[in-house]
Structure 1
């Protein structure tokens, strides 16, 4: 079953080379502190195993903007990045 069109930094078929993490929520309701803490903990573990991903963290809306809106405007990228053990220099909106 095809998951639809996706593209990130010129590469298509993102499900073939990416790791997806789902959060329970909506585009408009704030995520909880517990969600941010757990997301950062999982991300730190993944970065320890795959260091290159530290500079390639993106939202679903970044790879399939026509079809996906998550994590949405309620997701606080600055707060999330501040919780990472080794925040990247890359800004994410």
Structure 2
């Protein structure tokens, strides 16, 4: 079971409270987690990554186990603690402004 914490605006969009739990068979990577998340919550398609290129949106970041995973290749395996459900994968909306 993979645990995913979404930013407030995406939780509202997907109509979920708290963490999202996903069952993923096989390799657990950012790509497989996002595929499962968008499959379970189709309304999130295009909000975290571009629908056509699959690239992460500019103001979205990924964190797990106190590490920024945002620039890792999408098929890089996630940390073991995330794979076994000990730690959540955090999807965070970056802040910008002046």
TM normalised by structure 2 equals 0.28
Which structure has greater helix proportion? 1
Q: Kindly name which structure, 1 or 2, has the bigger radius of gyration based on alpha carbons.
A: 1
Which structure has greater strand proportion? 2
